[in-house]
Structure 1
Amino acid sequence: MSADPPRLCLFNGPYLVLDGEPVPLADGAKRVLAFVALRESLVDRGVAARTLWPDLNPPAACGRLRTELWRMRGALPRLIAATKCTITLRPEVGVDMRDRYDWAGRLVGGTATEADLRAPPAEDEFELLPGWAETWVILARERIRQRLLHGVEALVARLLDQKRTAEAVEAALLVAGIDPLRESAQRALASAHLAGGNVADARRAYDEYRARLRRELGVDPSPEFAALVSSS
């Protein structure tokens, strides 16, 4: 038995980490674990079965879920807590997506620690379960993506308050690169450049954003953004 709590990774996953080593998962286990982890609470077994295997009739889908849970109990007994009606992850199982969601929440809520300021997400943490096309995954993917975008923008503002302009620029470049059409991200980048005294970089960032916005959407940046760089 592993000495460390298991950790489920959904970014670039899903896969399990035990004692610092990645553990591959069977396809059925991947689907069950991902679904339960994204719900973050007790999940009705019937709902899980119908969602995960929509092409099967309800009794067959429930049978498939029972089979997958039985397999996991044998191979990975410490992951799922199941009753006749519900399933959930055991409380000791860590989930990378939940950790990142909480990280962004602390930044947006103004309760971030110094450790939070030094731990921006990696670029690949903005796409949950890449390649999965199910509706329940797509919705969760966009939810965590938006949460992280807001979190990094709040990180930029916090770093600028502390006059850590180099770190602020780096964080702003991350969020602007993830969503090049997002004005709040581009404004964060321009603000970081201006805080460092790099007016030319700020105006270049604005000009590139304006050209992209006109080309792809046929609109201009907001007057507030224009005023930010023109007044510098």
Structure 2
Amino acid sequence: MSSLITSPPPSTEQPVGCQMLCLVGGPYVVRGGHRLNVPEGSKRLLAFIALHGGRVDRRQAAGTLWPEGSDERAAGNLRSAVWRLKSGGIDILLTDKQTLALRPGTQTDVNALCEWAGRLADGCSSIADLRILAWDPEAADILPGWYDEWVICERERIRQRLLHGLEAVVRELINIGRVGDAVEAAMNVVRFEPLRESAQRALIEAHLAEHNRIEARRAFERYSRLLAEEMGLMPSTELADLVTLPVTSL
């Protein structure tokens, strides 16, 4: 039976009694199985704290999030954002005169995802980590539509880490003989980033591991056409060699 799922990897599942700050499709907070919508005026603050390790300096946060105007006005906007959270029943922050921090026990989905990808890249994954992800690529975008510099840099870092994790899932599924699941997982990686050669390589290798050389060739030809149309480029010779070399050479 296929292990295709529509939920995040097990590392993002919320332990009993904890709350999770979600940036994928958010920001929003999950507590006790219930979704709490973050007030509009507080979203950027929570995202900033989550993407900076869960603790930030108040002045740094105020100056980055509200760069226009005086320091006093920025500090006032920060206090207002914190107040909106509490008024909305989202008691997720610990605050003092110098810092803002997520409460102990609060998880973030981006940290959980990065830890999951890290286990796979390091070869320390569990069977549960090998569940196939079936996300909509747009839904998996971190803070879509946000163009602040501090968001753009972190979004790309997390996206790359996630893609490496997904490709590692394919390799591990091939290694343990679950080649059908490996093909399915590889197709999900390609959906995320169809121009990424390492993703296409994972799909081709999965087809070859399943002894479907025709499917491997078709995947290579589709990628070749896409790459030529979108970028005016050709696949690497290393990728081309995969569809001409014997399966035993992989």
Q: Please indicate, yes or no, whether the TM-score normalized by the shorter chain is above 0.5.
A: yes
Alignment match of 2:163 (pick from 125, 149, 154): 149
User: Paired residue for 1:25?
Assistant: 38
- Cα distance between partner residues in 1 of 2:110 and 2:178: 27
Displacement of 1:128 in angstroms is 0.5
Which stretch has the larger CA shift, 175-184 or 120-129?
120-129
Alignment match of 1:223 (pick from 226, 232, 237): 237
Mapped contact 1:100–1:121 kept (Cα < 8 A): no
Displacement of 1:191 in angstroms is 0.2
Displacement of 1:41 in angstroms is 4.0
User: Paired residue for 1:112?
Assistant: 125
User: Paired residue for 1:139?
Assistant: 153
Mapped contact 1:126–1:148 kept (Cα < 8 A): no
Matched, 1:128 2:128: no
Alignment match of 2:113 (pick from 84, 89, 100): 100
Alignment match of 2:212 (pick from 198, 202, 205): 198
Matched, 1:14 2:54: no
Residue identity opposite 1:197 in structure 2: H
Which stretch has the larger CA shift, 142-151 or 213-222?
213-222
Task: Provide, for residues 157-200 of structure 1, a one-character-per-residue CA deviation record: whole Å limited to 9, x for no partner.
Answer: 00000010111111110111111111000000000001111111
Alignment match of 1:69 (pick from 64, 82, 88): 82
- Cα distance between partner residues in 2 of 1:189 and 1:198: 11
Distance 1:83 1:119, change over 3 A: farther
Which stretch has the larger CA shift, 188-197 or 91-100?
91-100
Which stretch has the larger CA shift, 119-128 or 50-59?
119-128
TM-score, normalising length: structure 2: 0.86
Mapped contact 1:15–1:24 kept (Cα < 8 A): yes
- Cα distance between partner residues in 2 of 1:36 and 1:97: 12
- Cα distance between partner residues in 2 of 1:113 and 1:228: 29
Q: Which has the higher helix share?
A: 1
- Cα distance between partner residues in 1 of 2:225 and 2:132: 32
Alignment match of 2:56 (pick from 43, 47, 70): 43
Alignment match of 1:159 (pick from 170, 173, 178): 173
State how many pairs are aligned: 230
Task: Provide, for residues 121-150 of structure 1, a one-character-per-residue CA deviation record: whole Å limited to 9, x for no partner.
Answer: 623453101222222212111111100000
Structure 2: 5+ residue stretches without partners: 1-15
Matched, 1:89 2:88: no
Structure 1: 5+ residue stretches without partners: none
User: Paired residue for 2:194?
Assistant: 180
- Cα distance between partner residues in 2 of 1:83 and 1:103: 32
Displacement of 1:54 in angstroms is 2.1
Residue identity opposite 1:122 in structure 2: W
Residue identity opposite 2:169 in structure 1: L
Distance 1:26 1:216, change over 3 A: same
TM-score, normalising length: structure 1: 0.93
Residue identity opposite 1:58 in structure 2: D
Displacement of 1:87 in angstroms is 1.0
Mapped contact 2:132–2:181 kept (Cα < 8 A): no
